[in-house]
Amino acid sequence: MNFLKKKVFIIPVAIIIYISLFFISSKLGGAITLIGGFGVLFYLFKKNDKFKSKHILLKGISTGLIAIFTLFIGFGGLIYDPKEAKEIQLAQEKLKAEKQVEEDKAKEKETRAKEEKAKEDKENEEKAKKALEESAKIAENTKKEKEAEEAKKNIESQSTKDTEKTTSTDNSNSNVSKSNNSNTANTSNSSFGNSSAKDVTTNEPAKDNKIVYWVSKGKSYHCRSNCVALSRSKNILSGPASSCPKTDPCNDCIK
């Protein structure tokens, strides 16, 4: 028993037990630290005469160190719990992981939204392009139809003008033919039957105001576009009589 009472044995054993209490429960270790610290101070000031007789400065330093150690370790043990700290750390890590998952989901959702928007924009662009092409095609078809219609109107108008021109020419030729026949008859009577109608009209120039027809290689001009002599020709020229280089009328036209 005397061996157990020796300080050499008691102090290390007390330290080991004291530290073990913190591994068992930090709160229990903190409570014992507070109780033990204040108990030591109480013993020094009340029961230990040797400590009382020491210098006040030394007592103050000793008391301060004991008080700081007691308060820091004691309240630290009460406040800090390794299990709770570990649980808090695990909770923080879990929260961090959940937050990271949420961020990844949000990023994935944003990426998917961007891809869908890009796809939608591309589809809209293709639709707009197709609509523009269709519009251009419709405009081109409308333009062609309008041009065809205008060409048709021009042909009909030109045909009408040609018909009116031919009718006017035929009437003029008919009048000229009658006049020529009358002149031929008078010339034949005044020449005592020595010349024929062909001789009289052979050198008669074309009238200035009427439309005549001729062929570049021909010798005579024609008063009618449907003259039999012209039906065998291809390059038929027409114009006012004043511009015609031919001076002799066609015998078939004046009959």
**176 is written with which tokens?**
């000229």
Euclidean distance between CA atoms 239 and 212, whole angstroms: 6
Range in 29-33, 46-50, 138-142 with the lowest mean pLDDT: 46-50
In a domain, 179, yes or no: no
In a domain, 194, yes or no: no
Mean pLDDT of the chain: 74
In a domain, 86, yes or no: no
Helices (H), the chain: 7-24, 26-46, 49-52, 56-79, 82-190, 197-201
In a domain, 161, yes or no: no
Place of tokens 């879990």: 94
Whether residue 18 is found in the same domain as residue 75: yes
Confidence of residue 188 (pLDDT cuts 50, 70, 90): very low
In a domain, 196, yes or no: no
Residue 110 belongs to domain spanning = 98-146
Picking from 80, 115, 134, the residue at the C-terminal end of a domain is: 80
Does pLDDT of 201 surpass 50?
no
- pLDDT, tens digit (0-9, with 9 covering 90-100), for 128-168: 888 888 888 888 888 888 888 887 777 777 767 767 666 66
Confidence of residue 190 (pLDDT cuts 50, 70, 90): very low
Does pLDDT of 208 surpass 70?
no
How confident is the model over 225-244, as a mean pLDDT?
Answer: 79
Query: Between β-strands 248-249 and 211-215, what pairing exists: parallel, antiparallel or unpaired?
Result: unpaired
In a domain, 24, yes or no: yes
In a domain, 115, yes or no: yes
Whether residue 74 is found in the same domain as residue 122: no
Of the ranges 10-19, 66-75, 133-142, 169-178, the best mean pLDDT one: 133-142
Q: In 10 A of CB 26, how many CB atoms?
A: 20
CA-based R_g, the chain, Å: 68
* Three state DSSP letters for 47-109: CCHHHHCCCHHHHHHHHHHHHHHHHHHHHHHHHCCHHHHHHHHHHHHHHHHHHHHHHHHHHHH
Whether residue 113 is found in the same domain as residue 63: no
Query: Between β-strands 248-249 and 220-221, what pairing exists: parallel, antiparallel or unpaired?
Result: parallel
Q: Please state the domain count of the chain.
A: 3
**Half-sphere exposure in the Cβ direction for 39 (13 Å, CA):** 6
How confident is the model over 74-88, as a mean pLDDT?
Answer: 75
Whether residue 75 is found in the same domain as residue 38: yes
What per-residue confidence (pLDDT) applies to 100?
A: 92
In a domain, 131, yes or no: yes
Whether residue 75 is found in the same domain as residue 16: yes
How confident is the model over 193-220, as a mean pLDDT?
Answer: 58
Contact indicator for 207, 246 with CB cutoff of 8 Å: no
Q: Is the pTM of this model over 0.85?
A: no
Does pLDDT of 172 surpass 60?
no
Whether residue 208 is found in the same domain as residue 249: yes
What per-residue confidence (pLDDT) applies to 99?
A: 92
Q: How far apart are the first and last CA of the chain?
A: 176
Does pLDDT of 170 surpass 70?
no
Picking from 114, 129, 146, the residue at the C-terminal end of a domain is: 146
The residue with greater pLDDT, 114 or 235, is: 114
